């Protein structure tokens, strides 16, 4: 899998940006390899912070390449809500990275989730690795919800998650489960799918 975003894709998402958006756009261009840079490498220095900083940028970019069902928004003014379950440090980084940004004309709201019952109130849900022990409960609560789930746990995308981050060597990669997205009524751009490792859900085994 290649994590380089083609220039036309980035330009289509950053054209006409406001001055307040330049920081995120610049980071997107650098991280996604518009200048021919390699995929982001996690170094020993500030490893955890850098990892989550890049994941925050990816998360923002994922939202640009996904379409939610119409009923996911009350009206044209409803913001896109990104919820974070687990890591408070990531919430702070994400808030700083996307402050003042928009997704397809909608404002962005970052929500630090304390109650499991709130997971279905988001459009995007980031599940920290600290919540791996609760994945079955999380997926159960989101069974009929059009929520883009993004995780960083082993087998997250196999267990009904839509997008999952993983490290390959010391580089951040991501995988997508298109079937999980379809079941939630989410449409993922073919441009984003082409950059991911695709996870196929195994068909149920026949009983003998």
Query: Does 62 reside within a domain?
Result: yes
Query: Does 6 reside within a domain?
Result: no
CB within 8 Å of 97: residues ≥ 6 apart: 24, 27, 53, 56, 57, 60
Name the domain count of the chain: 1
Q: Which domain holds residue 52?
A: 41-198
Which residue pairs, CB below 8 angstroms and at least 24 apart, start in 196-200?
Answer: 196/1, 196/163, 197/1, 197/173, 199/157, 199/158, 199/164, 199/175
Which residue, among 194, 203, 202, 201, has the nearest Cα to 174 in the 3D structure?
194
Q: What are the Cα distances from residue 70, in Å, to 73, 76, 123, 141, 146?
A: 6, 10, 12, 20, 10
Angle at 104 between CA 37 and CA 8, to 5 degrees: 35
pLDDT at residue 203, rounded to an integer: 55
pLDDT at residue 26, rounded to an integer: 45
CB within 8 Å of 139: residues ≥ 6 apart: 149, 159, 160, 161
CB within 8 Å of 4: residues ≥ 6 apart: 32, 33, 39, 195
CATH of residue 52 = 3.40.50.2300
Residue 176 confidence (pLDDT) above 80: yes
Mean local confidence (pLDDT), 57-72: 93
pLDDT at residue 130, rounded to an integer: 92
Query: Does 108 reside within a domain?
Result: yes
Decide which of 29 and 17 is more confident. Answer: 29
- Both tokens of residue 54? 């890049």
Residues 135-168 have pLDDT tens digits of 999 999 998 899 999 999 989 999 999 999 998 8
Cβ density class 111-136: b for 16+ within 10 Å, e for less: bbbeeeebbbebbbbbbbeebbebbe
The neighbour count for residue 18, using CB atoms within 10 Å, is: 10
Query: Does 58 reside within a domain?
Result: yes
Query: Does 184 reside within a domain?
Result: yes
Cβ density class 68-92: b for 16+ within 10 Å, e for less: beeebeeeeeeebbbbbbbbeebbe
Query: Does 8 reside within a domain?
Result: no
Query: Does 208 reside within a domain?
Result: no
pLDDT at residue 36, rounded to an integer: 33
pLDDT at residue 197, rounded to an integer: 94
Query: Does 60 reside within a domain?
Result: yes
């Amino acid at each position: 899998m290649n994590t380089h975003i083609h220039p036309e894709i980035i330009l289509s998402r950053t054209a006409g940006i406001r001055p307040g958006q330049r920081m995120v756009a610049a980071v997107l261009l650098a991280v996604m390899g518009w200048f021919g840079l390699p995929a982001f490498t996690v170094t020993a220095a500030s490893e955890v912070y850098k990892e989550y900083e890049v994941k925050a940028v990816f998360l923002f970019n994922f939202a640009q390449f996904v379409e939610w069902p119409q009923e996911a928004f009350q009206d044209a003014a409803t913001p896109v809500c990104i919820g974070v379950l687990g890591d408070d440090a990531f919430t702070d980084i994400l808030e700083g990275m996307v402050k003042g940004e928009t997704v397809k004309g909608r404002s962005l709201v970052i929500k630090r989730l304390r109650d499991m019952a709130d997971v279905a109130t988001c459009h995007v849900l980031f599940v920290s690795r600290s919540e791996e022990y609760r994945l079955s409960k999380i997926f159960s609560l989101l069974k009929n919800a059009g929520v883009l789930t993004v995780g960083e746990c082993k087998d997250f995308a196999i267990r009904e998650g839509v997008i999952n981050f993983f490290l390959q060597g010391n580089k951040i990669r991501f995988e997508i489960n298109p079937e999980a997205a379809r079941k939630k009524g989410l449409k993922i751009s073919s441009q984003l799918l082409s950059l991911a490792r695709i996870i196929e859900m195994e068909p149920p085994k026949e009983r003998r």
